[in-house]
Amino acid sequence: MPHRKSDSKPLAVPSSRLSRIARLGGLASGIAGSMAAEGARQLAQGRRPSMGELLLTPGNAMKVAEQLAQMRGAAMKVGQLLSMDAGDLLPPELAQILARLRAEAHHMPGAQLKKVLADSWGPDWLRRFAKFDVRPIAAASIGQVHRALTRDGRDLAIKVQYPGVRRSIDSDVNNVAALMRLSGLVPKGLDLAPMLAEAKRQLHEEADYQREGRCLARFGALLAEEPGFAVPALHADLTTRDVLAMSYLEGVPVDGLTKAPQAERDRVMTLLIDLMFRELFAFRLMQTDPNFANYRYQPETGRLILLDFGATREFPATLAQGYRRLLRAGLAGDREGVRGAAAEIGFIGEALPERVEQAMLEMFELSLEPLRSPGLFDFGNSDLALRIRDGSLAMAADRDHVRMPPMDALFLQRKFAGIYLLASRLGARVDLRALLEPHLEDGGQA
């Protein structure tokens, strides 16, 4: 979660299950009403409207995004998950609506904030602090961050969870999923059940700030001797299931480095890509949320600050080994080896038509281009992202054979895509092959 001033407006979070269901019910009714009116208008003009045209009006898109953003919690998060994890599988119009939810959320009013803190720390909680900034420095889907100074001199970032988030997760996910299905835009062949089950599981984990604190501490220990990284220190005495206390680290947005010297942009992305490979092959522990705001930069030290470990995911050794085989085969130009590794991971199944399987293998080969390039790969001077997007859209158009990848692989692909997008934003040049090769041998490099 970013350490920056929030421009959002205070808006109370609907915390009861009934109030949240009512919000979504009202949203569905409002959209249905506007669709009926628009359909009648088009019929009067002699046109035969499609479901997609009726749903995807600017007004309806705004209704969906605004309502889910106001609800926050799982309702907002599931939209973010669907937009980022299934952006290549869902129709582009629906993904575009959901992508609006990546914007910053509103924050809690002061009275609601104080109640959450009193419930977590007791009624006299304010006595622990010399200063507590009531206006958040960041606000997102599940919680918001405040800066505070304790009486014993600790400069902290305090993440506070919105009330009602945890107990509303399952119903929020189910209701948003129903809204998606009612739209008629989710491909019939796409089984959202695994993604929705995973969304619930991940959200329950992300809503447990004590778990996030443990993940934060684990990454802090793993990178303690790394001069290029800084991880906030966990302050366990102030951390509860609803409140996460960590040291405050000053930094600037990493995606703001577009004007930095080329060598510095290259160094920053080399650090992040190397860390990503180590997360998969050495740590088998990855922070899977590629939001740019989770990376900050310290101009005075050149260190990268890593934030927000709620989406930390452990991977089994079999997955790391499957990707190792996939990459080795791909780099060797062994298409049959790529196919075997892709089947082992779960990308390819027996029922997949030959044309779809071949299209998928071509996509794998396309994505390996940066790794095959000798020396530096110039992210800022490549049209690879556009070619991958076009290939993905072509595959998604075959709606009868859309296949959901395994969830672990889906989260990995999400991280890969996010890092690629950041490298492109910075116009970085990185020797990817040199970073990957130490991990290609069985056992990899720690």
Catalytic residue among 85, 88, 289, 308: 289
Q: Within 13 Å and on the Cβ side, how many CA atoms surround 404?
A: 21
- Segment among 47-56, 169-178, 188-197 with least mean pLDDT: 47-56
Summarised one tens digit per residue, pLDDT across range 373-406 is 889 999 988 887 777 766 666 665 555 555 667 7
Report the C-alpha gap between 341 and 346 in whole angstroms.
9
Per the listing, tokens 């082992």 go with 344
The SS3 of residue 69 is: helix
Domain ranges of the chain: 17-103+169-186, 250-446
Q: Are 308 and 289 in contact (CB under 8 A)?
A: yes
Summarised one tens digit per residue, pLDDT across range 17-61 is 445 444 444 444 444 444 445 455 555 555 554 444 445 454 555
- Among 92-96, 160-164, 289-293, the range with the most confident prediction by mean pLDDT is 160-164
Structure letter (DSSP) for residue 107 = B
For 211-245, b/e burial (b = at least 16 CB within 10 A) is: bbbebbbbbbebbeeeebbbbbbbbeebbbebbbb
| Residue 362: predicted pLDDT | 84
What residues are paired with 159 via a beta bridge?
Answer: 145, 244
Beta strands in 133-234, from DSSP E residues, in sequence order:
138-139, 143-150, 155-161, 229-230
Question: Side chain identity at 185, as an amino acid letter?
Answer: L
This prediction's pTM: 0.78
Report the C-alpha gap between 187 and 77 in whole angstroms.
21
Summarised one tens digit per residue, pLDDT across range 334-344 is 989 999 998 88
Q: Would residue 334 show up in a list of annotated catalytic residues for this protein?
A: no
Q: Is 321 exposed, middle or buried (0-12, 13-18, 19+ CB in 10 A)?
A: middle
Is pLDDT above 60 for 184?
A: no
| Residue 363: predicted pLDDT | 82
Can you spell out the DSSP letters for 221-259? Answer: HHTTT-TTEE-PPB-GGG--SSEEEEE----EEGGGGGG
What is the residue-averaged pLDDT of the chain?
78
Q: What is the mean pLDDT of residues 202-216?
A: 93
